Amino acid sequence: MDLDLRKLRYFVAVADLLHFGRAAEELHIAQPVLSRQIRALEQDLGVPLFTRDRHGVALTDAGRQLLTDAGPLLASTEAVRRRVSAAAGGKRRLMVGFRAGVAVTPAARAFEERHPDVVVDVQRIEGDDQAAMLLDGRIDVGYVRLPIDETGLRVIPLYTEPRVAVLPAGHRFAGKAEVTEADLVGESLVWHGDASMQPTRHPFPNAGYPVRGVDETLEHVAAGRGISFLARSASVFYSHPDVVYVPIPDLVPEQVCLAVAASHTSPVADDFVAAARSTAEITAECGNYEMWQLGGDAATRHA
């Protein structure tokens, strides 16, 4: 049996909203049509995906499993569409995503020696979308930082980076050569994820300011709302007059990896992976300021 992708998209809409009427509005179809398509999908799979009663709509165990599997499947389909459209345009391009503090230039130069006919584009990505952008084809290869949901991805470790404490300029430890986790225990932490993602032995109290990216982190720390921890490269590529970086050697280093969608089988992407692995040591040590002329999240051609 071939899985109907249209029915699968309809299923995901209902599963996300747990409401057939609102899902139908979102999909711009009539609710009876949506209900028939979901029943047809259940018949195709031979299992009920939802329970429906006076209390509302809920996923069955089978429905929860399908929802887990549907995301990567639909994303890989979208990735195929993007790659086919790019090929039809007559230009060979490779979109490389990178997290803040990672220099793409060493690998791009090594790659272009072998593929002078391929344009390497780069786009900065953030932690909360690094997996999604790989799976749906917005980027072909990504320099990512752990943790990342590895479902549907090939993840190749490249190097580790020591961490630094990010402190307000007037902090009592701002002038120290280094600090320890014990020095900072009890400080409020400006953090991008939940406590389980903190690189510390004991969770720090969350400052309560959700952040996305280094820039927002620095602004909150500068305002005195808490401290933070970043990879050492942040101190090279980002400066702020009201923030200081202090090495904190007892924190677990941050792992930088390369990631590719498992469904993305491309010799060109594989060659970039090889170039990235061969230049990993250079990337870790030198950085490259010209990559940080990019500005924002806009994709820019590597010159």
Ranges of residues in the chain with a pLDDT under 50 are 287-303
The domain at 5-73 falls in which architecture? Orthogonal Bundle (1.10)
Domain ranges of the chain: 5-73, 91-151+262-301, 163-247
Q: Are 131 and 149 in contact (CB under 8 A)?
A: yes
- pLDDT (0 to 100) of residue 137: 86
Same CATH fold, 163-247 and 91-151+262-301? Answer: yes
Number of other residues whose CB lies within 10 A of the CB of residue 182: 9
Helix axes 20-27, 31-45, angle to 10 degrees: 100
The domain at 163-247 falls in which architecture? 3-Layer(aba) Sandwich (3.40)
Helix axes 5-17, 31-45, angle to 10 degrees: 110
Buried b (16+ CB within 10 A) or exposed e, 127-141: beebbebbbbbbbbb
What does the alpha-carbon distance between residue 171 and residue 206 come to, in Å, rounded to a whole number?
18
Backbone angles phi, psi at 155, to 5 degrees: -120, 125
The domain at 91-151+262-301 falls in which architecture? 3-Layer(aba) Sandwich (3.40)
What does the alpha-carbon distance between residue 214 and residue 39 come to, in Å, rounded to a whole number?
46
DSSP 37: H
- pLDDT (0 to 100) of residue 88: 66
- pLDDT (0 to 100) of residue 300: 35
- pLDDT (0 to 100) of residue 111: 95
Number of other residues whose CB lies within 10 A of the CB of residue 216: 15
